[in-house]
Amino acid sequence: MMSKISETEVRAEVRAWLAANWDPELSLAAWRNKLADSGWGMPQWPEAWYGRGLPMSLVRVVDEEFAAVGAVSAAKSGVRHLAAATLLEHGSDLQKKKFLRRILTGEDSWCQLFSEPGSGSDLAGATTRADLNGDNWIVNGQKVWTTSAHHADHGLLLARTDWDAPKHEGLSYFVIDIKQPGVDVQPLKQMNGHASFNQVFFTDALVPAENLVGGVGDGWKVAMTTLAHERRGADGLSSPPRRGSRTGRIHAEERAELETANQPYTWYPQRAGRVDLVIERAKETGANKDPVVRQEIAKLMIMAKSAEWTARRARAAQQQGRPQGPEGSLGKLAASNVARAAARVHTLITGTEAMLTGSASPRDGIIAEILVSVPAISIAGGTDEIQRNILAERVLGLPKEPRSDTGPFRNVRKN
Amino acid sequence: MMSKISETEVRAEVRAWLAANWDPELSLAAWRNKLADSGWGMPQWPEAWYGRGLPMSLVRVVDEEFAAVGAVSAAKSGVRHLAAATLLEHGSDLQKKKFLRRILTGEDSWCQLFSEPGSGSDLAGATTRADLNGDNWIVNGQKVWTTSAHHADHGLLLARTDWDAPKHEGLSYFVIDIKQPGVDVQPLKQMNGHASFNQVFFTDALVPAENLVGGVGDGWKVAMTTLAHERRGADGLSSPPRRGSRTGRIHAEERAELETANQPYTWYPQRAGRVDLVIERAKETGANKDPVVRQEIAKLMIMAKSAEWTARRARAAQQQGRPQGPEGSLGKLAASNVARAAARVHTLITGTEAMLTGSASPRDGIIAEILVSVPAISIAGGTDEIQRNILAERVLGLPKEPRSDTGPFRNVRKN
Amino acid sequence: GGAGFGMVELCIVTEEMGRALLCAPYFSTTVLAASAILNAGTEAQKSRLLPGLASGARLATLAVTELDGNWDPRGIELVATPVAEGYLLDGAKSYVVDGHVADLLVVAARMAGTAGHQGLALFTLGADSAGVERRLLESMDPTRKLARIDFHGAHANLLGNQDDGAQPLIRTLDQAAIALANEMVGGAQAMLDSAVDYAKLRVQFGRTIGSFQAIKHKCADMLLDVELAKSAAYYAAQAAAIDDPQWPAMANLAKAAASETYLRTAAECIQIHGGIGFTWDNDTHLWFKRAKSSEVFLGQPNYHRELLMQRWGVCVGEFE
Amino acid sequence: GGAGFGMVELCIVTEEMGRALLCAPYFSTTVLAASAILNAGTEAQKSRLLPGLASGARLATLAVTELDGNWDPRGIELVATPVAEGYLLDGAKSYVVDGHVADLLVVAARMAGTAGHQGLALFTLGADSAGVERRLLESMDPTRKLARIDFHGAHANLLGNQDDGAQPLIRTLDQAAIALANEMVGGAQAMLDSAVDYAKLRVQFGRTIGSFQAIKHKCADMLLDVELAKSAAYYAAQAAAIDDPQWPAMANLAKAAASETYLRTAAECIQIHGGIGFTWDNDTHLWFKRAKSSEVFLGQPNYHRELLMQRWGVCVGEFE
């Protein structure tokens, strides 16, 4: 009953506020500052911090009302929302004050500085070091696989502050200013020609002591929060479709923002194998007349559909309250199998033309991009081997392997 | 030059001896005792022990002459020849005297008592114990996967004599008399209905001290000799085809001997998948008209042929002097893949009839026997997983895993 | 009403039976025969025939496949000839589940001189009728008994009315494929559980074998395999229950998915058990044989994959 | 003489080139064009054309496939029309290896009004002849350059005599398939070596990743895969060398085996390298792209498997 009432109240309140304030001719920043001040941009956030402390069930109502008038939302894309979630949970008031507003106005963009050349699967093996010197931490080392670092303002940095503690206990978590001389951002080109990631080199880069998130040595715990939100984000909770016209200054600015945000991800659908194209392609090439090809298409579609329905079952279980757990690895592993199978079937269908690439090749090069992008899916975001370990240990309860990385990190074998 | 001459000599000598002694109306035992006395039965054995100390190159000559007149050879089948090879290398003179003659006359048959329910892949983890009591070792425990133990006279026994030594160093090797009250032999029925193996239970079984082969604690080293000869035997060095008639008492006795020896192995071809039947079956069922089936047949045949040629390349390399090494595991692993694929293709070809078994089912039940026998090939004689370890470590030189079974065996975790 | 009344409940039962490898004649009587009667029978026939089957008083089965083991109804050759009252059946059926013990037989036959889907209909008769000759076949899977049944002018009644043609039979086979898929994922789950339990128990080289990555990753792949096949089987049952127009295609999808998964999982379960898993006294082989027999029962995976492609209109289907 | 004069030597070279990923125009000039001339040419033509190719003074290639990428000679549509002296070629070829740099073109064409294997023949002409239009294609594999070549009444000479028909061309394609199979196993070996070397070097969780069973077993499977494909490629080369009547079927077998193996091995090599293996600066992708392109070059595995079955008489072959 209670929530029923407040739902009506909330709907009335937000509707009134939008009627009074929404204006497509405002600048993106101006509008989002209104959102920050009113708390309607992130209604689930605490009232103290640009929110209204609403339960998620009511956030949906606010989203619906925003959608109804086509109002632009607070900035949510990319690492930004991971930064916000992490700071809300572990950040100091000073840090929240410094960063949260410009996160949700979208004026600042953020990147994640966890992976290193020497620690990919083994994230906690980071060797980028931070040493306290007076009021500053001095950072030296290298990070990699950083999305959009080249136009980020701040980075979420995992660095080692104690070499005598065990691996997971010697790490600390910082917010680092990317736009400083000690930080050098280089693009990293992939085998499919895209450069969606960066390498980031630190040479005596500075982090003010006040930018330490959580305590010294709490880095791994804080990073887990970031990663948990990243996983949840991967589930892709989509907002309701927006009604209303898309004209007006603010929409133009938002489109530009989204374009920049999505630029690194244009090849991701190809990485997943573009199962959606398989049957069309079979028909347009005439490969559908070959019973051998049909068998392979069927095997692929059976796997892909089953994976889709497995994800659906997992979500249903979550909605019945079960936390999104290691089952996530099921979807990740299934996605790898599906993508590899899809690449095989696309080759089978495309035949000799699969030797070509670029705009003159099938589907303006999309097919070729599938073939050279699929190898990434079983690596990025945790290799298939890591996913199998997670499933075996956390879902099936099989014992861990004997560890070789215990004791002081200083003495642990490294690259 | 030298060997050229002695080849002629050997040929003349054996030919003369056969002319004077070969008589198909002799009893098998009588004839083979002549072979033992003359040394022509095992010409590669030392002169002191029923042989003539000939190099393998000349043994071929002797085989040819035996074949030419159709003379029966010394008993070689089964575990017998492993026992002889092991005793020749590690046995005491007393042991050679006691056992070798009746091995090559075929009057005694032998079995191998290595595997245990608790130590399959991990052979050195044997827990069957032998404790010295006066002039006898008292044996207690259980062995399994023993071929033909039910009509064996002696067994090659691997048992633990020291529980404080590390795993491989606490084992000793014995010749045990199977026909004694303390030894209970039970058949072990498999999922395909055959019972080719036995379980052997020891309850205070006795082994005279003089039957210890090698020293106390040398068991693993001695067992390695047995296993090496077993592997070599698996290569199947076949003798030249025998000419001459097959009539006469001795041939009847030999046929009976062979039948007994081969009885446990009748299903082994089915275990390997019977690739030889695939194309015939496709033609007789009309499945060859289905392009989808043809693809699967082709995949199978390509794998099978490639495996066959890989084995041939390995043999060629050995003939050029390279010792038969871990590459053996390649063939073993390939055989598993081929057998599994063959079972799939036989099912695909046979269709609904694959639900049947017995004499009324396709090929008098052979197809059904393939389907329920193939699962054994990736387990027996070392699982696929063990073969992969061998290939990774001994061929590719990848590092071993950290061990969990070092230190006194008493403290090692067991089943 | 609709195709799938009770499909979800039916599939929950078959999944459990598959897991426990129960050998009750449930599949023959309820999944095959009762569904056929529901799909084809007149109201009168339903109320006359179904209660006995529901109560378990009578066992029944459905005879479709003939000596060539073809599951495509167009291959049916057994002929029904109309007589004064009812029909006479002539021909042979094989691979009839529980055909040796069933009291009531539902038989798919065609009118003389017809071909393809034309002229197909379902008939019922008592198994003890004159002109019916039954022989138990020696089946690899001891938990699924099969019979050959010869009909020499055996007197039978038409189920429903003849102009329904092949549809009730096709619908029955699709429903059965979904029920079988659910039975198979139950069996696959049992094999996964058994493999994992053993891997936690069995020690080699001083460690439980479940701590070796080779075994851990094998089990993880089995888990994924089983979860995917379950999703397909459950989805198909749901689709049939709500009479989603896609449900027949989902039957093909689920049957193909579950067949491959069950066999792989059973084989891996034996592999993880090692030698002991190949012995008669270890029950694993019973599931393995059930998996083998289920793989081809109601049609092999490649048959169902081709049907799926045709029903999805990937190619011009000669099927429907 | 025979089909395979020098086949073994040829394949030793291509295997090494595949391993090192050499981009010399060896395959186009020696494996394709020179073989075609040896198979089809008159003695006079051989002694006129081959020395220049052998010395490397002139580059040459063979143009077979057309815009549809079909490797079955029966699909050739490019027409040769006899004129006073020689022939005029009209039509288009594509996927011609090194077609943009070759000096001499060997072209498969058919006489107007013929179909199937009838009326096929090989022709030679200078790449700079009038009526020849060449365009470099954008190929995924930067180490295998491809061109489209259009012929508008270009003047060409018949290679050999016309009544040999398709046989010299078919023989050339079979030889090329064997040479390519050997090139591919060379590449696969390079991928295996690279993966193993990296697995011995790379440390995660305090151990070299090569000490984890997941990686060890992956490498063991790669080893088996590569050894089997090598055996097929070597055997086919031998069979061709001694003109074993089975050799054309062995060409199909080897090409299919090597294609699957090379691609799997390259993909696993990237997987074992992890993220770094997906980067442009890590050379692994060059072998991967070569594997991808080799998989379909001269015909996909399923095409060669079907040919194998037909040549073995498993089914009535429409091929030969």
D201 exposure class (CB count in 10 Å sphere: 0-12, 13-18, 19+)? exposed
Q: Return the active site residues of A.
A: 230
Contact A356 D139 (CB under 8 A): yes
Q: pLDDT tens for residues B266-279? A: 999 999 999 999 99
Q: pLDDT tens for residues A327-337? A: 789 999 999 99
From B287's Cα to the closest Cα of chain D, the distance in A is: 10
* Among D124, D273, C139, CA closest to B358: C139
Contact C305 A330 (CB under 8 A): no
Contact B190 C280 (CB under 8 A): yes
Q: Return the active site residues of B.
A: 230
Q: pLDDT tens for residues B320-375? A: 766 667 778 999 999 999 999 999 999 999 999 999 999 999 999 999 999 999 99
- Closest to C227 (Cβ–Cβ): which among A288, A330, A385? A330
Q: Chain D within 8 Å of B306 (Cβ-Cβ)?
A: yes
Contact B309 D231 (CB under 8 A): yes
* Residue pairs spanning A and C at CB distance below 8 A: 115
- Closest to C207 (Cβ–Cβ): which among B355, B375, B404? B404
Tokens of D65: 């496939």
pLDDT at B5 over 90: no
pLDDT at C239: 97
From B320's Cα to the closest Cα of chain D, the distance in A is: 17
pLDDT in tens, chain A (415 residues): 344 558 999 999 999 999 999 999 999 999 999 999 999 999 999 999 999 999 988 999 999 999 999 999 999 888 999 999 999 999 999 999 999 999 999 999 999 999 999 998 899 999 999 999 999 999 999 999 999 899 999 999 999 999 999 999 999 999 999 999 999 999 999 999 999 999 999 999 999 999 999 999 999 999 999 998 887 765 444 566 777 777 889 999 999 988 888 888 999 999 999 999 999 999 999 999 999 999 999 999 999 999 999 999 988 887 776 666 777 899 999 999 999 999 999 999 999 999 999 999 999 999 999 999 999 999 998 999 999 999 999 999 999 999 999 999 999 999 9
Contact B352 C292 (CB under 8 A): no
Tokens of A150: 């080249």
pLDDT at A323: 62
What lies within 8 Å, CB to CB, of A188 at 6+ separation is A144, A145, A195, A197, A198, A199, D279
Contact B119 C271 (CB under 8 A): no
pLDDT at A77: 81
Scan for tokens 């979420």, then name that residue: A156
**CA closest to A401 among chain B residues:** B402
The Cα B190–Cα B373 span in angstroms is: 9
Q: Chain C within 8 Å of B121 (Cβ-Cβ)?
A: yes
The residues with which D311 forms a beta bridge, in sequence order, are none
DSSP of B91-143, one letter per residue? --HHHHHHHHHHHHHTSS-EEEE--BTTBSS-GGG---EEEEETTEEEEEEEE
Give the end-to-end CA distance of chain D in Å, rounded to a whole number. 23
Three-state DSSP at B285 gives helix
What lies within 8 Å, CB to CB, of B341 at 6+ separation is B273, B299, B300, B303
Q: Chain D within 8 Å of B285 (Cβ-Cβ)?
A: no
ipTM of the complex: 0.95
Beta strands in A32-179 (DSSP E): 110-113, 129-133, 136-147, 154-160, 171-177
Q: Which residues from C are below 8 Å from B292, CB to CB?
A: 302, 306
Give the end-to-end CA distance of chain A in Å, rounded to a whole number. 60
Q: Which chains touch C (3 or more CB pairs under 8 A)?
A: A, B, D
Q: Residue A276 CA to chain centroid, in angstroms?
A: 23
The Cα D124–Cα C20 span in angstroms is: 72
Tokens of A102: 């410009």
Contact D214 C212 (CB under 8 A): no
Tokens of C75: 């291959």
Q: pLDDT tens for residues A18-50? A: 999 999 999 999 999 999 999 999 999 999 999
From C106's Cα to the closest Cα of chain A, the distance in A is: 32
What lies within 8 Å, CB to CB, of D69 at 6+ separation is A351, A352, A353, D94, D95, D296
Q: Which residues from D are below 8 Å from B333, CB to CB?
A: 220-221, 224
Scan for tokens 């095992």, then name that residue: B42
Contact D208 B399 (CB under 8 A): yes
From A52's Cα to the closest Cα of chain D, the distance in A is: 42
Q: At how many degrees (to 10) do helices A219-234 and A80-90 cross?
A: 140
Three-state DSSP at D91 gives strand
pLDDT at A327: 75
Q: Which chains touch D (3 or more CB pairs under 8 A)?
A: A, B, C
Three-state DSSP at C271 gives helix
Q: How many residues does chain C have?
A: 320
Scan for tokens 């086509």, then name that residue: A70
pLDDT at D3 over 90: no
Contact B354 C277 (CB under 8 A): no
* Residue pairs spanning B and D at CB distance below 8 A: 114
Q: What is the mean pLDDT of residues C143-152?
A: 97
Residue C307 amino acid letter: L
pLDDT at B317: 80
The Cα B150–Cα B147 span in angstroms is: 8
Around B342, how many Cα atoms within 13 Å sit in the side-chain half-sphere? 33
Contact C206 B413 (CB under 8 A): yes
The Cα B279–Cα A36 span in angstroms is: 74
* Among B218, B237, B261, CA closest to B110: B261
Taking only residues 278 to 317 of chain D, the set having a beta carbon closer than 8 angstroms to any beta carbon of chain B reads 302, 305-306, 308-309, 312, 314-315
DSSP of D102-124, one letter per residue? -SEEEEEEEETT--TTTTEEEEE
List the Cα angle C13/C16/C21 in 5-degree steps.
120
From A136's Cα to the closest Cα of chain D, the distance in A is: 30
Q: What is the mean pLDDT of residues C295-302?
A: 98
B117 exposure class (CB count in 10 Å sphere: 0-12, 13-18, 19+)? middle
The Cα B314–Cα C11 span in angstroms is: 53
Scan for tokens 């106390």, then name that residue: B216
The Cα A159–Cα D177 span in angstroms is: 54
**CA closest to C212 among chain D residues:** D213
Q: Which residues from B are below 8 Å from C69, CB to CB?
A: 351-353
Q: Where do the H-state alpha helices sit in B42-92?
A: 56-69, 80-90
- Closest to B355 (Cβ–Cβ): which among C139, C203, C285? C139
Contact A352 D95 (CB under 8 A): yes
* Among D301, C18, C211, D259, CA closest to B294: D301
Q: Which chains touch A (3 or more CB pairs under 8 A)?
A: B, C, D
Chain D interface mutation, best of A199, A290, A355, A361, highest count of D Cβ atoms under 10 Å = A355
Q: What is the DSSP letter of C299?
A: S
Contact C278, B379 (CB under 8 A): yes
Q: pLDDT tens for residues A139-186? A: 999 999 999 899 999 999 999 999 999 999 999 999 999 999 999 999
Q: What is the DSSP letter of C320?
A: -
Provide the b/e sequence for C188-222 (b: ≥16 CB within 10 Å).
bbbbbebbbebbbebbbbbbbbbbbbbbbbbbbbb
Sign for the pseudo-dihedral over CA of C226, C283, B269, B384 = positive
